[in-house]
């Protein structure tokens, strides 16, 4: 089969990544895009792009786009229609090449219950589970309520005690229905001290199947992976052989063709492994396998789809060094990793250290609530695991990013913990190790960065001057007070005072001496009291993003005179992100207890509870079920019990 034009039925970084390999093979690439992605980088990357009338789930529109553009193959990426057996069958029926496994394999593995049944048939160990939701006692606690038709952390709830089960099932069903259109859930034993390890497989149309070793994806939040690596520090040669053999037994039973992943849970204490699921698509974390094997998985998918044999056996696969991937998200780790929205005013990876950036965004990209908030995958490969971790941490640290809250500083902290460097990465890593959620600047670093920002602003003002352009900045023919810049950072203001000396240097805050060696609209090279800093700076309106030594610092340029604004009443609870109100569990006058769920928001197909911070009385409810709310919108007001009682006195 020939593939000359490939339509990529996906978006963002995976669309760009697929097109990169396809183009290297001489294949023309077509993108499809929804309205929210009109200005997205992947659209510009394509040879041709077709706007969809609806969403990326509109299979008919995607097939129409393929016909219109003369595409002879469709690659689904991951997510969306990638594991939709019906869509795969429609692609094939339309006479197009489907870059993926057979519809029958997708359908069988798309149902986790059917997948577990096949695993048992071929002798692969599985965790105790129950399809009947009344069978919790046979599974044992703690257990996991799990969606039967999906993944990615959606439709999953950990249940420690029987009294929590009913609400967990209800919440998992709602999330599964919203995310996958199927509210079926089942129960499975939860192993607290475990590792998430998966085996990459490849199969061709001629009966050959191989595995490419393992990836460990144990560092997760909300059951979603954020750090992945290959090889796993917990897997030795014997365990690798046993898991690889189990994965290949499943692949042969399915007659598997294309790339796929067999996921296992490994008990960290005993080394026992249990089958979880088969993902019949490319995985987000596939680059770490590519790094250690040198095999381009998208290229292999396209070769297999064209009917070519793999051309190599298991013993021909070689592994080199260690690779680690970090998923950079628009999210706030200090607020429970809630997704963040906004416009990326800055996004500029540094040239060194050399790492792989698979990104779907650029400076100016709008991060909304329509899609997953992943900004980029960053992959480091080195001869040793420690060097890969240190290289990845530094690359993240040197990224210039601003405008949207990200998990960058958290990822850097996690990569540098003693536990991560020692390979102690069970699925409870975040809760057990508690890496710093944000980077705390010491006073000296904050002061130095604020001074650099003030001098950059001074340079910008000079560059925009239209009169007295030859006069030094701040020049007066009389002795006048210093020039002042007030910068907002978090909940505090920092004032920087400076004036120009006759030799062109600056006296800052009365005692510091500074020289500006170079200035440009995106950078400043400044020396303050003998310490030189060359840093990137981005301005967006009154927002300044300044790259300091270990990350970025954002300031707001305060006006000299501020208009007084209305403040929120004490006890106000606001929306942490844009979303839809799917449940309001209180009414005005209700007494609530600390930790009680008051409102449920749905954003990005996930539920986010609004919790009472303390005991109190609901004095105002501003929302109703079905309301769409913006970030920061007032939801309700809870007056602390002690305050209410004092009023009563």
In a domain, 528, yes or no: yes
Is residue 566 included in any domain, yes or no? Answer: no
Q: Are both 494 and 454 inside the same structural domain?
A: yes
Domain of residue 586, CATH code = 2.40.50.100
More confident residue, 539 or 580: 539
Tell me which residue of 278, 394, 373, 280 sits closest to 327, measured CA to CA.
373
- Spell out the residues 6+ positions from residue 312 whose beta carbon is closer than 8 angstroms to its own: 210
Mean pLDDT of 164-176: 90
Nearest to 29 by CA among 288, 291, 302: 302
Higher pLDDT, 623 or 131: 623
pLDDT of residue 565: 44
pTM: 0.84
Residues 372 and 485 in one domain: no
Looking up residue 156, the CATH number of its domain turns out to be 3.30.1490.20
Q: What is the pLDDT of residue 133?
A: 83
C-alpha span between 74 and 29 (Å, rounded): 10
C-alpha torsion sign, points 435, 439, 440, 442:
positive
Q: Are 216 and 425 in contact (CB under 8 A)?
A: yes
Whether residue 124 has pLDDT greater than 50: yes
Statement: residue 246 has pLDDT above 60: yes
* C-alpha separations of 514 from 107, 499, 517, 525, 567 in Å: 66, 10, 10, 11, 39
Indicate whether 459 pLDDT > 80. yes
DSSP single-letter state for residue 512: E
pLDDT in tens, 253-264: 999 999 999 999
Say which residues have a Cβ less than 8 Å from residue 425's Cβ, sequence separation at least 6: 195, 216, 218, 219, 227, 233, 419
Residue 306, domain extent: 103-123+195-320
Last-in-domain residue among 557, 586, 617: 557
Q: Is residue 508 part of a domain?
A: yes
**CA atoms 412, 413, 416, 419: torsion sign:** negative
- What is the tally of structural domains in the chain? 6
Claim to verify: residue 226 and residue 159 sit in the same structural domain = no
Residues 203 and 330 in one domain: no
pLDDT at 416: 98
Are 141 and 209 in the same domain? no
d(CA 32, CA 58): 11
Nearest to 498, CA basis, from 519, 518, 481, 478: 481
- 244-258 residues labelled b (16+ CB within 10 A) or e (exposed): bebbbbbbeebebbb
* pLDDT, position 111: 86
Residue 452 pLDDT grade (very low, low, confident, very high; cuts 50, 70, 90): very high
Q: Indicate the residue among 303, 320, 337 that finishes a domain.
A: 320
Q: Is the pLDDT of residue 644 over 70?
A: no
Domain boundary among 517, 532, 557: 557
Same-domain pairing of 65 and 173: no
CATH number at residue 493: 3.30.700.30
Query: CATH number for the domain including 316?
Result: 3.30.470.20
Question: Domain check: are 389 and 520 in the same one?
Answer: no
The verdict on residue 13 lying in a domain is yes
Residue 145 host element (H or E): strand 143-147
Return the CATH number at 69. 3.40.50.20
Average pLDDT, the chain: 91
Residue 231, preceding bond cis, omega within 30 degrees? Answer: yes
Tell me the range of 178-182, 197-201, 334-338, 569-573 where mean pLDDT is highest.
197-201
Asked if 257 and 138 sit in the same domain, the reply is no
Out of 172-186, 194-208, 267-281, 634-648, pick the least confident.
634-648
Q: Is the same domain home to 454 and 532?
A: yes
- Nearby residues of 49 by Cβ (< 8 Å), 6 or more positions away: 30, 31, 32, 33, 43
Mean pLDDT for the stretch of residues 133-151? 84
Tokens of residue 555, six digits: 């300031």
Return the closest-CA partner of residue 422 out of 437, 432, 409: 432
Clarify whether residues 276 and 337 are in a common domain.
no
Residues 354 and 381 grouped into a single domain: yes
Q: Is the pLDDT of residue 468 over 50?
A: no
Structural domain includes residue 531: yes
Is pLDDT of 467 > 60?
no
Write the pLDDT tens digit of every residue in 379-418.
Answer: 999 999 999 999 999 999 999 999 999 999 999 999 999 9
The whole-number pLDDT of residue 478 equals: 46
Domain shared by 233 and 256, yes or no: yes
C-alpha triplet 365, 367, 372: angle, nearest 5°: 125
């Amino acid at each position: 089969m020939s593939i000359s034009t490939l339509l990529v039925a996906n978006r963002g970084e995976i669309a760009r990544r697929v097109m990169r390999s396809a183009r290297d093979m001489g294949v023309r690439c077509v993108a499809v895009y929804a309205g929210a992605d009109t200005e997205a980088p992947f659209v510009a990357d394509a040879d041709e792009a077709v706007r969809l009338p609806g969403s990326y789930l509109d299979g008919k529109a995607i097939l129409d786009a393929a016909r219109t553009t003369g595409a002879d193959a469709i690659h689904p990426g991951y997510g969306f229609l990638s594991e939709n057996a019906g869509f795969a069958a429609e692609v094939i029926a339309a006479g197009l090449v489907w870059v993926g496994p057979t519809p029958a394999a997708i359908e069988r593995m798309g149902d986790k219950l059917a997948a577990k049944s096949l695993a048992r048939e071929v002798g692969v160990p599985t965790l105790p589970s129950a399809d009947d939701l009344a069978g919790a006692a046979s599974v044992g606690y703690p257990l996991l309520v799990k969606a039967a038709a999906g993944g990615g952390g959606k439709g999953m709830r950990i249940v420690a005690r029987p009294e929590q089960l009913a609400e967990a099932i209800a919440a998992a069903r709602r999330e599964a229905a919203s995310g996958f259109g199927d509210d079926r859930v089942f129960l499975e034993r939860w192993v607290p001290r475990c590792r998430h390890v998966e085996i990459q497989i490849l199969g061709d149309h001629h009966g050959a199947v191989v595995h490419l070793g393992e990836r460990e994806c144990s560092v997760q939040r909300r059951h979603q992976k954020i750090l992945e690596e290959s090889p796993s520090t917990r897997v030795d040669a014997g365990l690798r052989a046993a898991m690889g053999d189990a994965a290949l037994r499943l692949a042969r039973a399915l007659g598997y063709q294309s790339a796929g992943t067999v996921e296992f849970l490994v008990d960290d204490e005993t080394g026992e492994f249990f089958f979880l699921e088969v993902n019949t698509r490319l995985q987000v974390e596939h680059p770490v396998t590519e790094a250690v094997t040198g095999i381009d998985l998208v290229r292999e998918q396209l070769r297999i789809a064209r009917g070519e044999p793999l051309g190599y056996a298991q013993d021909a696969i070689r592994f080199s060094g260690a690779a680690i991937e970090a998923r950079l998200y628009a999210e706030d780790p200090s607020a429970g990793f809630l997704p963040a929205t906004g416009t990326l005013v800055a996004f500029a990876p540094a040239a060194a250290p050399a790492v792989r950036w698979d990104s779907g965004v650029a400076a100016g990209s709008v991060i909304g609530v329509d899609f997953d908030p992943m900004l980029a995958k960053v992959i480091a490969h080195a001869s040793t695991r420690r060097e890969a971790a240190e290289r990845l941490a530094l690359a993240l640290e040197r990224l210039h990013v601003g405008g949207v809250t990200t998990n960058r500083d958290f990822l850097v902290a996690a990569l540098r913990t003693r536990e991560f460097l020692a390979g102690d990465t069970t699925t409870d890593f975040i809760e057990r190790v508690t890496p710093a959620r944000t980077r705390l600047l010491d006073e000296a670093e904050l002061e130095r960065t604020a001074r650099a920002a003030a001098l950059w602003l001074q340079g910008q003002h000079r560059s925009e001057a239209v009169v007295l352009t030859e006069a030094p900045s701040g020049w007066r023919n009389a002795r006048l007070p210093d020039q002042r810049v007030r910068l907002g950072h978090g909940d505090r203001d920092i004032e920087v005072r400076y004036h120009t000396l006759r030799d062109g240097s600056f006296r800052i805050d009365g005692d510091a001496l500074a020289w500006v060696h170079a200035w440009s609209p995106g950078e400043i090279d400044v020396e303050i009291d003998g310490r030189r800093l060359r840093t990137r700076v981005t301005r967006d309106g009154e927002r300044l993003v300044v790259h300091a030594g270990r990350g970025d610092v954002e300031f707001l340029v305060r006006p000299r005179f501020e208009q007084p604004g209305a403040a929120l009443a004490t006890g106000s609870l606001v929306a942490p992100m844009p979303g839809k109100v799917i449940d309001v569990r209180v009414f005005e006058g209700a007494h609530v207890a600390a930790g009680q769920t008051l409102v449920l928001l749905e954003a990005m197909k996930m539920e986010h509870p609004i919790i009472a911070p303390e005991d109190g009385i609901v004095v105002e409810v501003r929302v109703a079920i079905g309301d769409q709310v913006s970030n920061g919108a007032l939801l309700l007001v809870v007056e602390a019990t002690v305050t209410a009682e004092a009023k009563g006195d």
